[in-house]
A and B are shown apart, each in its own frame.
Chain A
Amino acid sequence: MRSTRNVVTAENDGNPGHFSDPPLLVLASLASGPKHGHAMIEDIVNICGTRLGPGTLYGAIARLEQQGWIEPLAPEERRRPYRITADGLRVLRAKLTTLQQFTKAGWKRLEAL
């Protein structure tokens, strides 16, 4: 999977809480229904405040499509919506479960301080 170093635009810089795992963000966005690129970007901003750059978004889309976790739908004019596949949903659940465990453990440690 592509590096996630340059995953957000400059406006997210300086925000220590921003989350930047483009493939996971795309999967989470598509979990609420098919979307095209621009709709995904806006939805991801609403989910976690991270605004993915267009290059980053399509890097993630191309690789998720390659892995069979999302699939393209018929284009609407020049915009092509994508939807999450059954495999993609399974991967999203697994990743979110891991994140949940990680978050729980992290909070426990913070509370113990």
Chain B
Amino acid sequence: MAEPIKLSIDGKPVTVPPGTLLIEAAKQVGIEVPSFCYYPGLSLQGACRMCLVAIEKMPKLQTACTTVVTNGMVVHTDTPEVANTRKSMLEFLLTNHPLDCPVCDKGGECELQDAVFRYGAAETRFLEGKLHEEEKKFSNLVYYDRPRCILCFRCIRVCDEGMDVNAYGIGFRAAHSEIIPNRGEQLECEECGMCIDICPVGALTSGTYRYKTRPWEVTYTGTICNHCGDGCRTTLSVRNNVVIRANNRDHSGLNGEFLCVKGRFGWDFVNSERRLKSPLLRKNGKQEEASWEEALTFTVERLKTILAEHGPGAVAVIGSNRTTNEEDYLLQRFARTVLGTNDIDHHRTADFSSLVRALTEAGATDRYATIEDISAAKSLLLIGNDPTHQHPLIAYQIRQAVRQHGARLYIVNSREIKLRRQSSQYLQVKPQGEAEAVRALAGQAPAAQDLCAGGTGALTALADALKKESDTVILFGDEIQGQTVNDLVTCGLTLPGKTRFVALGDYANSRGAADMGLLPDTLPGYQPLSNEKARERMESAWAAKIPAAPGRNIRSIFEGIRAGEIKALLVFGANPVKTFGLDNAALTGLQLLFVAELFRTETAELANVVVPAASFAEKSGTVTNTCGEVQALKRTMRQAGTRSDLEILLALARLFGQRWTYQSPEDVLREIIALVPGYDIPLPSLLVGRAVPTHPEGRPPALERPDLVFSSRDSLFTSGTLSRYSWALNSVDEAKKPYGHAF
């Protein structure tokens, strides 16, 4: 480490590492230097001139945001000269900035408003009229008001450097300068809305939030986004039980200020008019509204009849990729102990089980990478998947790693994904060739000549380059599954340094569903059902018997229904008819189809009983992101008529005569912490909003068949069922572009 730099700011001694900017050094000792164009993590601009400070032995005032500290520097931020300069700068900024704060959406959380309030310039000497221009609509989600813009260029930089989209440029000159979309009149971009959030004034406003309310009128609750598997923290602004806005207001959580289009705008399905508000019960072939009691009693009576007539083998359960860990845990407990069946599965979007098994067998369960590890990595290997679309935060973190500290990115993919722009080596393989490439890299099987465009030489070059790296983070999608995961882990662990791994699953709790044992052959914490000790441990905790034979996987469940062996199917928060492309006849053999859902999906339409479930904004609990980090959801609002899956399960169990003692999701979480291997997480950390990494350890059985693990390949603008009910996600033109389109 280089010697730290010592300087003094307003008489206070400061010690910082070399290379620190003066504005950051001042922040460390609690001295505020106002600035608009400076933003941590973005390139330096020096455009707003707000941060001018006096440095001894320098003839003029200097911009603190571009000055690097040096030893013995003596800085003053409290001289009359500095105060006067700030006042004058604000006066200049206000020459054309309209004073429409009462109308402006930013009023109350505006950096310019705050600065004027603190540093003056309430009186102006300019008597000329202000330049006025009409507001421009860049897209359905982004509006631009030229007169309010103070030309700090934060939006341009965050779009270029943070998002690698480069949607904005600067047009015209001097006082007429303005922000313009780079591609035509309309914005053509990922619609992430980072520019809106980063704008220090109200120049860029959100199409969903504008003119709806004021920032002090809403309640803010930090919770976790329910779309992809990255687990971004998002602050929901709620007024009168209606979500109005989402942003990561306090930059907390593993995503900092980042949110993608789904996180920032895609929550509006919660407010959808088409949400189910009342249970539906099929009477005389038609679904009719019924009371909760009626619907649940009917379900339990029908289940009891089927169990009595055909035994537990006639009942199957399908779980969700979005419900909380607590709900998933209770669901499998319900299936295994109350219904007595192991026929429980979910739509697996990545092969987490194989990763856990491979790492456990290699004795390397400390090698699960976290989101933070990705942005801090020196070297990254990405195999398959398209993070820009499927994992926007991970794509952002990869770009940050490359841009901020020169990490090398190696990509193996059959498609030309956008991240190849950041890659040091990009190996394009033939379609579905990712697994073959991994086997070849691991030395398990020689690569076919036509595997990649540059012949096998490119593969060798990649292997050689990786051997020179250390502490590589390896990310892989659903292309790598089963034995290939094992090969990849074995090969990865031979690389220098501490190699870490991430399996990329699709949805908010895809990882949690696997962790909590929504699998036919695996108990919570990846303990195989065949492991007698693990089974007995759960049996004694639950005071009930668990059937020892592994159940049917999701494909066998469908086959069982077709063959007439399965008479009842319970579906919680999933839409298998759409996901698995089932035809209408596939489920007609059922005597009972029970669906807990937010909307009347294709599956729900076929059901005998549909109950309205609560969305992520209406319940508490925990979710686990694709890296295995557990985070807490916080209830932000209520939706009349709905119940959380947890409440539904507790009610069903009660009707079955079970005496479960859970009062709240926390009670279930305490049991998970005590019982599930790898989940012994500290509760206080979780409750203060941290992402707590888990290190599951277990030897789950091998993957039965390859068509069990597949990703939905959601784009930036789709998210399974939920995105279909979001106005914002469907309103942008970019959503109509073909999948994989790079901006």
Whether both chains belong to one complex is answered with no
